[in-house]
A and B are shown apart, each in its own frame.
Chain A
Amino acid sequence: MSRQPFYQATKLLLFYLKREYIKLSIWIVSLVATTVAVALAFSGLYQSDTERQLMAETMENPAMKALIGRGFGLDNYTNGAMLSHEMLVMTMIVVAIMSILLVNRLTRQDEENQQLELLLALPLGRLAPSFSAIVVLFLANGLLALVTTIGLTILGIDSIDFIGSLSYSSALFASGIFFGAITLLTAQLSNNQRGSMMLSYLVLGVSYMVRAVGDAGDLWLSYLSPLGLLQETQAYVANYFWPQIVIVVISFFIIGLSMRLREKRDLGSGLLPDKRGKKSASSFLKTTPGFILTLQKVPLISWFVAMLLIGLSYGSVLGDLDAFLSENEVIQQIIGSTEDYSLTEQFIAIILKVMAIISTIPTLMVFHKLKSEEVKGRLDHLFARPLSRLRIYTWYSVISVLTSIVLLTIAVVSLAGAGVYVLDTGVDFMTIVEANIVYLPAIWVVLGVMGAIYGLLGKFDGLTWLYLLFCFVLIYLGDLLEFPDWLMRVSPFYWIPELPMDNFTVWPLMSLTGIGLGLLVIGGIGFMRRDIRQN
């Protein structure tokens, strides 16, 4: 052990707060605003008990439970019960992402950029950076929980009371703390920032999927996931607080363990083994696409596995849904008589849309690598050699498009495979695959937006992530909140026919593909004309 491991942590804390307060304010304000707005919208749209109860009916099936959580108080679906059912799990995920990014920035990123070396050469305890990062984590999530509680309570909506809001927002708090703590741990395991972040997201993804499978089958599996456990707070219904306490206590153990590991390891190293690299470049690496792919090998493989697992888990949930439907003759009658297509198919349509959105993330990430290469000054090495800008830009675009095709295909094939295997009713394998593949043009439009902004300006392309988030919100809440049509049209995903319910039409697919490619070309022209940035 070293002496004074936390020396001057307060000074460092002030420095961290100064660096982070703007970013954190934006996160907190947007999160609280969204939650409050949704609460208001729900209470405005679903005023009578019968309206809400009808809503609850459509939610009470394994498929919806897998997607958004199993929900409580479904037999007495108050405004509060509805809010916590529809919003808690998703918001916990967003809070987790905020916390992962925060802790990653303050720990592994500083370490990788050798800023921590400068700091630790000053009279600063070895654990002061980790400690201060954790304090910032607690402050940010604490403030978020506080403002959310106040914001929801003062709305004065019937059934959205103080104690329920406290239960709701303390679940958000616990989720943030837990995933922040996980990120402190992964910062000790991996010896680079990307690796650490990927590991944290992996834990988050597995938590979500384990909860999905558990919630759909009403299994104890849910309790193994922090997200599954935290929804047990039953905000606005039972208002338990033990799940939060359990999760925060576990987080403290993880934080303690991480600090022990940090104390023992060298600065700049990770505890996971680092393989010895190759002596010389393979002929694959020497080609432009080979080079781009090699740089992103690990994230691409991880995404491939992740999409496979997502497809399999959603696919296996279909079986639960199917069993539920065949047992429940009443629902069968309602749906079977009023619609041409079964609830299973409607659910598949939602899942496919969500999977299309998820596949857009790696597609954008592959392309975004070009930006980070530029900003770190590494593109200079390429352009100083006889490699044209057009060539680099084109290859990044092509590989991004291929990424979207491969990942969406693997996801839907595994979903359809698992689904057809567990389903008794005849949903055709190829029908599902086709219904998902038609989303590719929408993904390319989002990619095109990033390409155009990046190519023309070289900055602000991060806004594309907001656009994608916005598209997701439209899909997730669009029908619930009855958004106007013009707003829904902003999302390219809106234009895609929902097969097999809608008829297959070619023109939206053609036009979206055209728009996507057009935007990429515009970006390419801009990229060839503008300055290459540094930093």
Chain B
Amino acid sequence: MMIDVSGLKKNFGKVEALKDVHVTVEKGRIVGFIGPNGAGKSTTIRILLGLLRKDAGKAEIFGLDCYRDAVEIHKRISYVPGDVNLWPNLTGGEVIDLFIDMQGKKVASSRKEELMKRFDFDPTKKCRTYSKGNRQKVALIAAFSVESDLYILDEPTSGLDPLMEREFQALVKEQQTKGKSVLLSSHILSEVEQLCDDVVIIRQGEIIESGSLKDLRHLTRTQFIVETETDMPGFKNLPGVYDVTKNEEKWHFQVDHEQISSVLSFLGQFPIAKLETKEPTLEDLFMRHYESDDKGGA
């Protein structure tokens, strides 16, 4: 077990930031840690890093206590925050070297160079001149230059453009093939969906879902909007189709992931003027979660 968190509580004065958090990361897995702003992702991660003290519960990495054994743990992990602030009068290259040096592991400079090239990064500029995305690249390059056993990434791509984000995803996948583990937090579900094996969903300091992405597929239905002039008899009764509403020629409905292909072939029988799909958002997911809560309660 790489990360083992259970029953974690943290208060800031009267604010209950974490009420009951449990997260596990197995070796070789990429785990998405998802929740809206203020859910408690960063707080959990900062406890994992030993920057904050927990009020109750267990927080272990590699079987070591996150606060007491912070130094021992940090020798084997890399961290990238979402908000990277650097010393304005040092260059990006200097800061990367500093971080790598403090990590205490031998790093081939070719690895560093390679990453700088992949992220299209100029290390000779002073940090004061870097944009948010470039400062994030500094932290990413320093983190991925080192072969750590565990990567803890807190919304690491919030300032990157789509091209760089793809490079980042490729990098994470590569590390996984080397047997490394990753905890990746995000507030956008679709962003981590492509990358993660497991997902942990947090809201208001509590974990509301966790498990492998496959298990959670039932929670994510794709939204469809279809325009057709003809009526589609029997459509409402298809398996895996939900919440059908019809507004003149526009049909709105949701489809379970498993049933998409059968629904598409059904639609194929009709003259379709326009077809749009939308990936489910985190909000949809929460709606579904509360729906199922209500059912359970009733």
The interface of chain A, by Cβ under 8 A from chain B, is 1-4, 7-8, 11-12, 15, 19, 113-115, 117-126, 264-269, 274, 535
Q: Is the CB of B49 closer than 8 A to any CB of chain A?
A: yes
- Give the Cβ gap from B200 to chain A, nearest Cβ, in Å: 20
- A120→B71 CA distance, assembly (Å): 9
The chain B residue sitting closest to A273, CB to CB, is B13
Q: Contacting A535 at CB < 8 Å: which of B79, B88, B90?
A: B88
Known contacts A121-B49, A274-B13, A535-B128, A1 near B102 by CB under 8 Å = no
- A268→B17 CA distance, assembly (Å): 15
* Per-residue A-contact encoding for B85-96, CB less than 8 Å = 1, 0 else: 111111000000
The chain B residue sitting closest to A274, CB to CB, is B13
Q: Is the CB of B49 within 8 A of A118?
A: no
Q: Is the CB of A1 within 8 A of B104?
A: no
Q: Is the CB of A118 within 8 A of B52?
A: no
Q: Is the CB of B99 within 8 A of A267?
A: no
The chain B residue sitting closest to A115, CB to CB, is B85
* Per-residue A-contact encoding for B80-111, CB less than 8 Å = 1, 0 else: 01011111111000000011011110000000
Known contacts A3-B69, A125-B71, A535-B129, A11 near B101 by CB under 8 Å = yes
- Give the Cβ gap from B76 to chain A, nearest Cβ, in Å: 8
Q: Is the CB of B99 within 8 A of A2?
A: no
Q: Is the CB of B120 closer than 8 A to any CB of chain A?
A: no
- A1→B70 CA distance, assembly (Å): 11
**Interface residues of A: mostly helix, strand, loop or mixed?**
loop
- A124→B89 CA distance, assembly (Å): 22
- A114→B49 CA distance, assembly (Å): 14
Q: Contacting B102 at CB < 8 Å: which of A3, A124, A264?
A: A124
- A269→B152 CA distance, assembly (Å): 22
Q: What 5 pairs between A and B have smallest CB-CB spacing?
A: A121-B79, A535-B128, A123-B74, A267-B51, A4-B71
- Measured between beta carbons, the chain B residues less than 8 angstroms from A274 are 13
- Give the Cβ gap from A120 to chain B, nearest Cβ, in Å: 6
- Give the Cβ gap from A374 to chain B, nearest Cβ, in Å: 13
Q: Is the CB of A119 within 8 A of B129?
A: no
- Give the Cβ gap from A378 to chain B, nearest Cβ, in Å: 15
- Measured between beta carbons, the chain A residues less than 8 angstroms from B84 are 114, 118
- A250→B89 CA distance, assembly (Å): 35
Q: Is the CB of A267 within 8 A of B52?
A: yes
- Give the Cβ gap from B151 to chain A, nearest Cβ, in Å: 11
9 A-B pairs in the complex with CB atoms less than 8 angstroms apart: A4-B72, A15-B98, A117-B46, A118-B86, A120-B51, A122-B99, A123-B72, A123-B102, A266-B51
Q: Is the CB of A113 within 8 A of B85?
A: yes
- Give the Cβ gap from A505 to chain B, nearest Cβ, in Å: 48
Known contacts A2-B50, A8-B102, A19 near B74 by CB under 8 Å = no
Q: Is the CB of B250 closer than 8 A to any CB of chain A?
A: no
Q: Contacting B68 at CB < 8 Å: which of A1, A11, A114, A115?
A: A1
- A350→B102 CA distance, assembly (Å): 54
Inter-chain pairs besides A118-B86, A122-B103, A123-B75, 16 sampled, C-beta below 8 Å: A2-B70, A8-B71, A8-B102, A15-B98, A19-B87, A114-B81, A115-B85, A121-B77, A121-B81, A123-B74, A124-B71, A126-B50, A126-B70, A268-B51, A274-B13, A535-B129
- A269→B52 CA distance, assembly (Å): 9
With most chain A CB atoms within 10 A of its CB, the pick from B77, B79, B88, B98 is B98
* Per-residue A-contact encoding for B1-45, CB less than 8 Å = 1, 0 else: 000000000001100000000000000000000000000000000
Q: Is the CB of B173 closer than 8 A to any CB of chain A?
A: no
Q: Is the CB of A266 within 8 A of B104?
A: no
- A27→B103 CA distance, assembly (Å): 33
- A265→B12 CA distance, assembly (Å): 12
- A1→B89 CA distance, assembly (Å): 35
- Measured between beta carbons, the chain A residues less than 8 angstroms from B152 are 121
- A485→B115 CA distance, assembly (Å): 63
Q: Contacting A114 at CB < 8 Å: which of B71, B85, B89?
A: B85
The chain B residue sitting closest to A121, CB to CB, is B79
Q: Is the CB of B139 closer than 8 A to any CB of chain A?
A: yes
- A19→B87 CA distance, assembly (Å): 9
- Measured between beta carbons, the chain A residues less than 8 angstroms from B75 are 123
Known contacts A2-B70, A3-B69, A267-B46, A122 near B85 by CB under 8 Å = no
The chain B residue sitting closest to A8, CB to CB, is B102
- A121→B66 CA distance, assembly (Å): 11
Which residues 161-187 in B have Cβ within 8 Å of A in the complex?
A: none
Q: Is the CB of A3 within 8 A of B72?
A: yes
Q: Is the CB of B53 closer than 8 A to any CB of chain A?
A: yes
- Measured between beta carbons, the chain A residues less than 8 angstroms from B50 are 2, 120, 126
Known contacts A2-B68, A535-B88, A118 near B81 by CB under 8 Å = yes
Q: Contacting A121 at CB < 8 Å: which of B51, B72, B129?
A: B51
Q: Contacting A123 at CB < 8 Å: which of B71, B87, B98, B129?
A: B71
Q: Is the CB of B242 closer than 8 A to any CB of chain A?
A: no
Q: Is the CB of B67 closer than 8 A to any CB of chain A?
A: yes
- Measured between beta carbons, the chain A residues less than 8 angstroms from B104 are 8, 123
- A393→B295 CA distance, assembly (Å): 60
- Give the Cβ gap from B116 to chain A, nearest Cβ, in Å: 18
With most chain A CB atoms within 10 A of its CB, the pick from B70, B77, B83, B85 is B70
The chain A residue sitting closest to B90, CB to CB, is A19
- Measured between beta carbons, the chain A residues less than 8 angstroms from B74 are 121-124
- Measured between beta carbons, the chain B residues less than 8 angstroms from A126 are 50, 70
Q: Is the CB of B99 within 8 A of A115?
A: no
- Measured between beta carbons, the chain B residues less than 8 angstroms from A120 are 49-51, 70
- Measured between beta carbons, the chain A residues less than 8 angstroms from B102 are 8, 11-12, 119, 122-124
The chain B residue sitting closest to A267, CB to CB, is B51
Q: Is the CB of A118 within 8 A of B99?
A: yes
The chain B residue sitting closest to A1, CB to CB, is B68
- Measured between beta carbons, the chain A residues less than 8 angstroms from B139 are 118
Q: Is the CB of A3 within 8 A of B71?
A: yes
Q: Is the CB of B49 within 8 A of A2?
A: no
The chain B residue sitting closest to A534, CB to CB, is B128
- Measured between beta carbons, the chain A residues less than 8 angstroms from B13 are 274
* Per-residue A-contact encoding for B141-163, CB less than 8 Å = 1, 0 else: 00000000000100000000000
- Give the Cβ gap from A180 to chain B, nearest Cβ, in Å: 21
Known contacts A19-B87, A125-B71, A266 near B53 by CB under 8 Å = yes
The chain A residue sitting closest to B131, CB to CB, is A534
- Measured between beta carbons, the chain B residues less than 8 angstroms from A266 are 51-53
- A122→B84 CA distance, assembly (Å): 14
* Per-residue A-contact encoding for B53-77, CB less than 8 Å = 1, 0 else: 1000000000000011111101101
- Measured between beta carbons, the chain A residues less than 8 angstroms from B72 are 3-4, 123
Q: Contacting B71 at CB < 8 Å: which of A7, A115, A118?
A: A7
- Give the Cβ gap from B212 to chain A, nearest Cβ, in Å: 28
- Give the Cβ gap from A111 to chain B, nearest Cβ, in Å: 10
- Measured between beta carbons, the chain B residues less than 8 angstroms from A15 are 98
- Measured between beta carbons, the chain A residues less than 8 angstroms from B71 are 2-4, 7-8, 123-125
- Measured between beta carbons, the chain B residues less than 8 angstroms from A125 are 71
- Measured between beta carbons, the chain A residues less than 8 angstroms from B90 are 19
- A115→B102 CA distance, assembly (Å): 14
- Give the Cβ gap from A15 to chain B, nearest Cβ, in Å: 6
The chain A residue sitting closest to B76, CB to CB, is A123
- A88→B79 CA distance, assembly (Å): 48
The chain A residue sitting closest to B43, CB to CB, is A266
- Measured between beta carbons, the chain A residues less than 8 angstroms from B49 are 117, 120-121
The chain A residue sitting closest to B89, CB to CB, is A19
- Give the Cβ gap from B29 to chain A, nearest Cβ, in Å: 21
- A19→B91 CA distance, assembly (Å): 12
- A266→B43 CA distance, assembly (Å): 11
- Give the Cβ gap from B229 to chain A, nearest Cβ, in Å: 47
